[in-house]
Amino acid sequence: MQAVIISIGDELLGGVSVDTNSAYLSRRLAERGIVTVRHETVGDDAGRIAVAIARAADEAEVVVVTGGLGPTPDDLTRKALAAAMGVELVEDARSTERISAYFERIGRQMKPSNLNQAMIPAGAEAIDNDFGTAPGIAAHLGGARVFVLPGPPNEMTGMFERKVTGRLPSAGVIVRKNLHAFGTGESDIGERIADLMARDANPKALPAGRQVGTTAKGGIISIRIAASGAAVGEADALAEKTADEVRRRLGEIIFGQDDQTLPSVVASALKAAGLTLAVAESCTGGMIARMITDTPGASEYFLGGVVSYANSAKVAMLGVRADLLEAHGAVSEQVAAAMAEGARENFGSDFGLSVTGIAGPTGGSADKPVGLVYIALTGPGGSTVHRHIFSGARNIIRRRAALTALNHLRLALRSL
């Protein structure tokens, strides 16, 4: 079963607002086995809205439209739906009453324009709105069920949960899992699981299809797994079997799944091991500390850090010897190791993790190019220094360096 989601509004097409409704609706529909095949955004233009609705009803069994139900003249979704259905707008008496009661409740005078909101296409059904004035609309168009909901997310989501999900046709179940990997490229991962990603493996092929895809974001590669079945158990088993196969092939580069992040996985591992961490950051400038402290309760395992941006700070705050800086430069294996040691000693932590590098855009040389980063880790399992060359803009290099440092710590924790 397929769906098309349409969002309405000049503010979306102008880029003033980002459409988050469509992603939300796609997730909710997917949970019920309904696959979204297209999102479309059109402006406050009755003709264009009518064309979009008619086209969507031609191609999918479920059409969800959000926005354009306000009381002002630029709210044209009601009129456009009526045009697409080839009927007139008629007053829905229950909605008129509810809108009047709403204004009485909030003690504000109703404008005549608010009653426009009680007009719905003949033959359609109003959907009660408990969060605002605009009722939604449920209608049939060709073979499709069409649901129209207000644009503000707080009204839309509440109405969808309470009033629309019960009216949706049912079509099996799709279960999704996302595995997250770090430390190699999307193309490398793609080749290692190419057969699983083959297009004929299709979750739409009920009762037991599956689909595997990849997405790269900020250095993290996510392997998206979707599996379908007649019931949750069946779909979940297929998804889990596929996830196991992906884990088997990719091994330790998989660091987590679904809501887990690299910092949250490292946090859990430190907590489970009862070990503490301190960091010493140069080019990442506080990014690692910030990532770790995003999670509440970080004080259990994170003692703190030094952002040693100036060389003098490396000496004063981390006890890096001035002659090491002199002989090898701030971006060197030796200084990285001394920073990690200094953090561990001065904070009294189990692990010391340090990063020193050249984030650019300037400051590089033939010998030490922009993107060169040393990461040192010292802890219960010994001491290591890793040399990396990252590419991209300054903040990409910084972020990649911070994540790579956390990943070295993750791998060290695994092998304790």
| 141-170 binders of a second copy (CB under 8 A) | 152, 154, 158
Under the criterion CB under 8 A, does residue 125 sit at the interface with a second copy? no
Q: Which of 20, 165, 365, 383 binds a second copy (CB under 8 A)?
A: 20
* Rounded Cα–Cα distance for residues 232 and 146 (Å): 26
* CB closer to a second copy out of 122 and 310: 310
The window from 141-149, 162-170, 235-243, 343-351 that contacts a second copy (CB under 8 A) reads 343-351
Residue 69 Cβ vs a second copy, minimum distance, rounded to whole Å: 11
Distances in Å between the Cα of 77 and the Cα atoms of 19, 28, 81 are 17, 23, 6
* Rounded (10°) angle between helices 262-273 and 394-414: 30
The owner of tokens 């991962």 is 189
Under the criterion CB under 8 A, does residue 383 sit at the interface with a second copy? no
Q: Which of 108, 140, 241, 414 binds a second copy (CB under 8 A)?
A: 108
Q: Which of 167, 207, 299, 327 binds a second copy (CB under 8 A)?
A: 299
Cβ count within 10 A of residue 302:
22
Q: Which long-range contacts (CB under 8 A, 24 or more apart) does 273-277 make?
A: 273/413, 273/416, 275/301, 275/350, 275/351, 275/379, 275/380, 275/413, 276/301, 276/302, 276/303, 276/347, 276/349, 276/350, 276/351, 277/301, 277/302, 277/303, 277/349, 277/350, 277/351, 277/352, 277/353, 277/409
The alpha carbon torsion through 17, 23, 26, 31 (nearest 10 deg) reads -140
Residue 93 Cβ vs a second copy, minimum distance, rounded to whole Å: 20
The window from 44-52, 139-147, 228-236, 247-255 that contacts a second copy (CB under 8 A) reads 44-52
* CB closer to a second copy out of 119 and 292: 292
The answer to whether 413 and 382 are in contact (CB under 8 A) is no
Under the criterion CB under 8 A, does residue 274 sit at the interface with a second copy? no
* Rounded Cα–Cα distance for residues 155 and 138 (Å): 16
Under the criterion CB under 8 A, does residue 89 sit at the interface with a second copy? no
* CB closer to a second copy out of 122 and 198: 198
Q: Which of 77, 228, 242, 308 binds a second copy (CB under 8 A)?
A: 308
Q: Show contacts with a second copy in window 187-246 (CB under 8 A).
A: 187-188, 190-191, 194, 197-199, 211, 213-217, 224, 226
The answer to whether 179 and 221 are in contact (CB under 8 A) is no
Residue 375 φ then ψ, to 5° = -125, 125
Residue 377 Cβ vs a second copy, minimum distance, rounded to whole Å: 18
The window from 80-88, 119-127, 234-242, 383-391 that contacts a second copy (CB under 8 A) reads 383-391
Applying CB under 8 A, the site for a second copy has a residue count of 118
Q: Which of 359, 401, 406, 413 binds a second copy (CB under 8 A)?
A: 359
